[in-house]
Amino acid sequence: MAKVVKIVIFAKSNLQAIYWPKIYNLLTMNILKTIVETKVSMNELHKQGKSIGFVATMGALHDGHLQLIKQSKRENDYTICSIFINPIQFNKTEDLEKYPNQIEKDIELLEAENCDFLFNPSVEEMYPEIDQTEFDFGNLEDVMEGANRPGHFRGVAIVVKRLFEIIEPTRAYFGKKDYQQLLIVNSLVEQYNLSPEIIGCEIIREESGLAMSSRNQRLSFGQKRKAPSVYTHLKKARDLKEYLAPDVLKRWIEEKYIGHDDFRLEYIEVADGNNLQPIEKWEDTDKPMIFIVVHMGAVRLIDNIELY
């Protein structure tokens, strides 16, 4: 019913031409392919004083994304999701080529959540020319994902800044699985005075404990059974925190992966959740966290846990 009302409001507005086709299909979401039509639609909502919640994704949606959509729908008048596999944030071509692409299924999932808009631009639409912008995120980008995936956060910052400028959301929702990305986006918003309030949302896990990720689709059945041990170690480490110093706790996890047939540890850090710098003593921070990346075959699993 709410959808019908929204469409009628639009039909009455000077956007009749854009929304007219939707009147014949009341249950589908508005799918926007161009920057111009997205700006026009969002401006119309801004003019009406509506709040806009935004969930940026690269598609291959899972329950983690859908929880962000649900939260956005609870907290805003309208929700827009973007699906754009951003080529410039992949530091390995192979990772980009293997990234799952399932746009039709994603559209069905978003429609089932009553998401109001999908922005699904092409690469040419987003990058008509090479973007030369450089960013300075200070120490936030020197560690972990920043250190291990050169250029990754520059690519994320370029696309997120562009998306925020096109949509001008009231609130934007990001999962804490990519915790470093969340802090980078916060810094981006602050540095460029961008519109949204950034909402960090809890990690959504499978029943097994495995953090949900689009890349999990590429795990074999056998790998999927073993992958949850990453979180099991993190939880055990959280229990051991009161007995072990940060460096000893880090080593305790490292040892789990030495000579392991199924996993290759890329990094493990015990760090301050405020600034991501490694800590020597628990008293160094009020937000101690553990961050980990392990590889299972060609799949990179990323996870973290709060120790406070």
Q: Which of 46, 62, 65, 152 is catalytic?
A: 65
Q: Which residue has the tokens 């073993």?
A: 226
Ramachandran class of 81: left when φ > 0, alpha when ψ lies in -120 to 50, beta otherwise: beta
Reported as half-sphere exposure (CB side, CA atoms, 13 A), residue 1 has a value of: 0
d(CA 70, CA 65): 9
Residues 82-101 that bind ligand PAF (CB under 6 A): 86, 89
Q: Is 116 in the site for ligand PAF (CB under 6 A)?
A: no
Site for ligand PAF contains 160 (CB under 6 A): yes
Binder among 32, 58, 109, 110 for ligand PAF (CB under 6 A): 58
Residue 113 engages ligand PAF in binding (rule: CB under 6 A): no
- Is 90 within 8 Å of 99 (Cβ atoms)? yes
Closer CB to ligand PAF, 71 or 89, in the complex: 89
Is residue 42 within 8 Å of 168, Cβ to Cβ? yes
Interface positions, 165-194, toward ligand PAF (CB under 6 A): 178, 181
Asked if 159 touches ligand PAF (CB under 6 A), the answer is yes
For the beta carbon of residue 46, count every other beta carbon within 10 angstroms: 16
Can you say how many angstroms the Cα of residue 238 is from the centroid of all Cα atoms in its chain? 25
Which CB atom, from 95 or from 262, has the smaller least distance to ligand PAF?
95
**For this structure, is 295 an active site residue?**
no
Q: How far apart are CA 170 and CA 273, in angstroms?
A: 25
- Report residue 176 CA to chain centroid gap: 8
Q: Is 216 in the site for ligand PAF (CB under 6 A)?
A: no
- Min dist. Cβ of residue 120 to ligand PAF (A): 12
Sheet with 299-306, strands from edge to edge, namely 264-272, 288-296, 299-306
Site size for ligand PAF, by CB under 6 A? 10
Kindly state whether residue 66 participates in binding ligand PAF, applying the rule CB under 6 A.
no
Site stretch for ligand PAF (CB under 6 A), options 154-162, 186-194, 232-240, 264-272: 154-162
CB-nearer residue toward ligand PAF: 58 or 144: 58
Q: How far apart are CA 181 and CA 78, in angstroms?
A: 24
Among residues 61 and 210, whose Cβ is nearest to ligand PAF? 61
Binding site for ligand PAF (CB under 6 A): 56-58, 86, 89, 156, 159-160, 178, 181
Catalytic positions are 65
